Amino acid sequence: MATEILLTSESFVKDVSSISDNLAGKYLRPSIREAQEVKYRGIVGDTLLAKLKALVADGSINQDANSNYKDLVDRSQYLLAFLAITEVCMKVSFKVVNAGVVQTGDENVTQAPTDDVSAIRSYYQAKADSATLDLQNYLLNNWSLFPELNQGDYHRIHSNLYSAASCGIFLGGPRGKRIR
């Protein structure tokens, strides 16, 4: 199995947020992976993400020749952290077991109601949306620095480079209609 390359770390996510230092990596690591491999990939594209991961994997990200890529990874840290937190909220609140979806309690802590969990998730999603917009503006203003952001990827992620809003419904215009 290939080594997993994550562009941010569990310690960074914990340091920049109010999540507990005791939060198990079993929950946080998959959340970071999802944030990077699904949401972040939609912003930077497959080729640029692969380049960033390769530079991090071989340690050459810190070389002067790769300063543009290092800057991009540095600018991506808060976005990845906030996206990971939005993913981890539900993972730690509910568990899927043989008996179904359960919430475990403890005599020393009180479980937050689902509405409160959703509110916290929305709070971090709004932070992620703001960080996404900042990163998108950086990529649009500096796209010539990243040859991996080629025309194919640029067109594929075009909508992500112009809108940072998260929404569960399609807001891209009329569907099923011909536009001439």
Residue 26 reports pLDDT greater than 70:
yes
**pLDDT in the model for residue 27:** 87
Q: What does the pLDDT average to over 24-41?
A: 92
Q: In this predicted model, what pLDDT tens digit does every residue of 1-14 receive, in sequence order?
A: 467 899 999 999 99
Confidence of residue 41 (pLDDT cuts 50, 70, 90): very high
pLDDT band at residue 101 using 50, 70 and 90 as cut-offs? confident
Residues 6+ apart with CB under 8 A from 44: 52, 72, 139, 149, 157
| Residue appearing with tokens 């998260």 | 166
Cα 178 to Cα 180: distance, rounded to the nearest angstrom: 6
**How does strand 95-97 pair with strand 100-102?**
antiparallel
> How much of the chain exceeds pLDDT 70, in percent?
77
Give residue 124's pLDDT. Answer: 86
* The two three-digit tokens of residue 172, written as one number: 């891209």
CA-based end-to-end distance of the chain? 49
- Mean pLDDT to the nearest integer, 87-104: 76
SS3 label, residue 95? strand
Beta bridge partners of 91: none
